[in-house]
Amino acid sequence: MSAPDFTSPLSTLRGRALRGRFQRDAAYVGLFSAVSYAVDYSFQLVDTFWVARLGTGAATALALITAIIYVVMALNEIVGVSSVALLSQVDGRETPREFGRLFWSIVALKFVIGLLFVTAFIVYVHYGLNWLQDGSIRGYTISYARVIWPSLIIVPTYSTMMTAMRISGQAALGATFSIVAFLLNFCLVPALTFGYLGLPALGISGAAWATILAQAIVLVAALLALLHGKYGAAIRQCGGPKISKTTIADLILIGLPVGGVMLIANLEQAAIVAIVAHHSAAVSDGLSIANRLFGFVYMVNFGVAAGVSITVGRFVGAGETAIIKSALPNFLVGAVVVAGLISVALASFATPLINTFTGSNVSAEAAKTYLWFMVLVSTANCCFLVYSGVYEGLGRNWPVFFAAVVAHVLLEGPLLVAAMFVNSAPLAALWFIVAIGSLAAAVAIGAMCRGTLSR
């Protein structure tokens, strides 16, 4: 398709209007997506805040299980990314029946994948934790894992509900549901962990129960909202999934590269957690908490990228692909500035934040160094995620995978492996390695995306 001519006064005005609409739509969806992702992620901060009070090693155990869950759930992104591209393009074409059929197909596929997640998770917990030498960390890890496994089914399905809500104009309502879930979790975690309000004191497993209950409640609420939303009639009339081989192929092939990217990122995180776990419990607890705080910023970036991918998909479905190149730069600059400011604020207040979770000066100092390195990582991640959002909306994700392989596997991977075998290596060197990988990924995908949009 040839690019439209925007040189005439009328076309110039139209092009300016379309660029403005792209930026507004991406900012609107991105804002509420960022709120949803950040609030959903805050479940972990609440869990960490209370679990850290159980004793030394509890926060590390929580970080270990979270890293394992993220590795397993990387496969969720295969269908998750595809659903954004396909559903948003259907929304751009304004075909409700197609939206309903596709929605149920994705939900059914996500449920099956969730069952596979549970199987892999249980196998790993039973046979893959023998390397843990600290008995307290091992005990906390197994206790939490024995309860949290249903999240591996709930979260993939819930993420599809939230994607459909954002695309169908219910992004603000979705963010509200996330806030309600957070408040439920905020109240239930201490009650079930320490036995407040007359409830039994379940220890670290109580935090897992609180998370599962809150997630299940908002899953039901999201489904009810969709059934009464823009595509509610189409979703109700379909009556269930009608999965075709073509649909399955599209969902897998479009999302497979980003699933690979998430797997690479989560394996990187698991390697870092393993390296940190060999340091003292105070250091590893501080870094585990700091990593949770940094993850909050990452979720904000991830939400902004969701706004980009959904908006790109809508413009592609409406036949307005050419406008994306000119509308993207200003949006990217704004997103990077916001991500940078949040990261600087987080690093600046690292000591009092960490002391909120634990009173150890050793933990606070380790976390402070980490968070200052993460300022650079956060801005690089923002660039990478915005550009990857463009490819997700286009439904062409192999460039995202290639950028991640070059930066995180070929460049950063060997350095991380070397760090795993050097017991005396300073942690600052590890954070420097992570920063190099993030910057390289941002540069690689930015160059490829500009080339793609120029064609």
**285 within 8 A of 355, measured Cβ to Cβ:** no
240 and 395 Cβ atoms separated by less than 8 Å = no
How would you label 167-198 residue by residue, b for 16+ Cβ within 10 Å and e otherwise?
bbebbebbbbbbbebbebbbebbbbbbeeeee
What percent of the chain is predicted at pLDDT more than 90? Answer: 11
- At residue 10 the predicted structure's pLDDT band, cuts being 50, 70 and 90, is very low
pLDDT digits (tens, 9 = 90+) for 311-328: 888 888 877 777 888 888
The residue among 113, 84, 148 whose CA lies nearest residue 308 is 84
Can you tell me the distance from the alpha carbon of 176 to that of 164, in angstroms, rounded to the nearest whole number?
15
Q: Measured between alpha carbons, how far is residue 179 from residues 184, 193, 353 in Å?
A: 9, 21, 21
| Residue spans per domain, the chain | 21-454
pLDDT in tens, 88-139: 888 888 788 888 888 888 888 888 888 888 888 888 777 766 666 666 777 7
Report the sign of the C-alpha dihedral through residues 96, 101, 104, 109, in that order. Answer: negative
Length of the chain equals 455
The span from the CA of 210 to the CA of 193, in Å, is 9
Residue 8 pLDDT level (bands cut at 50, 70, 90): very low
pLDDT tens figures, 40-72: 777 777 777 788 778 777 877 777 777 777 766
pLDDT tier at 372, thresholds 50, 70, 90: very high
Higher per-residue confidence, 70 vs 6: 70
DSSP structure class, residue 4? P
Q: Higher-confidence residue: 358 or 387?
A: 387
What is the average pLDDT score of the chain? 81
76-85, 109-118, 325-334, 382-391: least confidently modelled range: 76-85
Is the model more confident about 381 or about 74? 381
Which value, in Å, is the radius of gyration of the alpha carbons in the chain? 22
Q: Which one-letter amino acid corresponds to residue 53?
A: R
What pLDDT does residue 30 have?
Answer: 82
Mean pLDDT, residues 19-32? 82
Q: What pLDDT is attached to residue 6? A: 43
* CA atoms within 13 Å, Cβ hemisphere of 318: 16
